[in-house]
Amino acid sequence: MTLLRPNGGGAHCLVGRLESVAQQVLVSADALMHMCRYRQCSPWAKEAGGQLFGSISAEQILVTVATGPYPRDERSRYRYRSDPAAAQRSILVQAESGLLYLGEWHTHAEDHPDASGLDGDAMRLLLAKSQLNSNALLMLIVGRKTMVDSLGLWSVAAERVDQWHLEYAAT
């Protein structure tokens, strides 16, 4: 297991920005480290994933917890789908601590992850089925490398998909 130490220093969080959007996305170091444990570094590693939770204010969308993967997920080298029952349980458990469901994450076996058409379709399906406080969901994809350009963040709404600009920041 390789921890996220892009500069050889301590833990970093992730900041996402989108032009013309006042809110920024902040992914906590804990959530980031949880997801990066599942990087598909070996040739046989399967995709992993789960859900993102946190809070929303006028200034930022704060992702504090990433959950999953779960024992009954569908996982292969190039596909991940959360066990719907386990994902739903996670959403209820996190809601008890006051955390909102914000979106999904999964890994890709590539260095510069790109959202596939299937990824976009899956997100739009979730969006249509979810009863959310917001009209968009986040989708974070974790590639194989430690550099920030091996991470991808998109917001998916019914009519549009935007890719956010990412940087590491000290915690």
Positions that interact with Zn ion (CB under 5 A): 119
Kindly state the smallest distance separating residue 95's Cβ from Zn ion, in Å: 26
Active site residues: 47
11 or 161: whose CB is closer to Zn ion? 161
Q: Which of these, 89, 134, 92, 126, lies nearest to 106 by C-alpha position?
A: 126
- Nearest approach in angstroms of CB 96 to Zn ion is 29
Tell the smallest beta-carbon distance from residue 4 to Zn ion (Å): 20
**Is the Cβ of residue 28 or residue 40 nearer to Zn ion in the bound state?**
40
Whichever of 12 and 155 has its CB closer to Zn ion, that residue is 155
Cα distance between residue 26 and residue 64, in whole Å: 8
- Phi and psi, residue 74, nearest 5°: -95, 115
Report whether 141 contacts 151 (CB < 8 A).
yes
- Would you say 28 and 64 are in contact if contact means Cβ atoms under 8 Å apart? yes
